[in-house]
Structure 1
Amino acid sequence: MGELQGKRVLLVEDELFIAMHAEEILRDLGAEVIGPANSLREAWSFVENETFDCAMLDRNLNGELSDELAQELKRRGVAVILATGYGSIASDRGLTVVSKPYDENMIAAAFRSVMKERSLGLE
């Protein structure tokens, strides 16, 4: 597909097999994957030391929510999607959410949506 061709994507996911699957999807979409980070602490380290265009964040990392990280990334102009296995989340913070289990089409559509919003200044 190539929706993320030339984009650097931060991947934050605490489950090894899910992270491997997500990394494969992101690479198939043309992304250069940064990470995966498996904790919020590691994710914040990437934020401080790397540059990227997009981020795919697991919402619940070993009991810690990634919502604050997502908001900071959005503030910095990074296109962000949250992934969750806990059903739908009220999107009161304006975050795009994909439900697990997800597939390549779902991830591609979510990133198309957030990148379109970002380019239109709808954040």
Structure 2
Amino acid sequence: MQILLVEDEAIIAMDIEMILESAGYGLIITTNTVAAALRKIGEQGFDAALLDLNLGSETTIAVADELVRREIPFLLVTGRDAPSLPEQLRSRPIVRKPYGPGEILRTLGTALQGAGMELN
């Protein structure tokens, strides 16, 4: 399983990578900018993605839109509540920061199941 992680905080990215790796998820590709994430989506197929909504001065809304277009399940890892999210993202699975490993894995599992994919 290939997972895209878009996160600009290095420590958080490493934490999520370790959570996913310890749960047996395969290749995890991490990027920290919208441009890099869109490039990676175009270069290789992903089974799922985890997006931090805010990357410094930019948001990952364009990345989310591209994932929707390609029918790739994703979840948001953010400090924001659903009502404060852009309209098109309010129905997406959300893991609120701070989070625990179980929360990341449960929410990812739910997103994958919702897309008809087998859990890891």
Q: Give the TM-score of the pair, scaled to structure 1.
A: 0.82
Distance 1:57 1:118 in 2: 17
- Which deviates the most, 7-16 or 108-117? 108-117
Which residue does the alignment assign to 2:102?
105
Q: Does 1:17 align with 2:14?
A: no
Aligned residue pairs total 113
Among all aligned residue pairs of Structure 1 and Structure 2, give the percentage whose two residues are the same amino acid.
33
Q: What is the aligned counterpart of 2:58 among 60, 64, 70?
A: 64
Deviation per CA, 1:21-73: give whole Å up to 9, x if none: 01101111211233210111111111111111000111101121112211221
Gaps of 5+ in 2: none
Q: Which moved more, 1:67-76 or 1:54-63?
A: 67-76
Amino acid at match of 2:93: T
Counterpart secondary structure, 1:71: helix
Runs of 4+ in 1 over 3 A off after TM superposition: none
Kept after mapping to 2: 8 A contact 1:12/1:37: yes
**2:82 is aligned with what amino acid?**
I
Q: What TM-score does the superposition give when structure 2 sets the normalisation length?
A: 0.84
Distance 1:12 1:88 in 2: 19
Q: CA separation in 1, counterparts of 2:35 and 2:62?
A: 12
Gaps of 5+ in 1: 1-6
Paired residue type of 2:47 = D
Q: How does 1:3-14 map to 2 (within 5 A)?
A: 7-14=1-8
Give 1:114's aligned residue. Answer: 111
Greater mean alpha carbon deviation, residues 93-102 or residues 18-27: 93-102
Query: Which secondary structure does the structure 2 equivalent of 1:119 belong to?
Result: coil
Alignment of 1:89 onto 2:82: yes
- Aligned CA-pair RMSD: 1.7
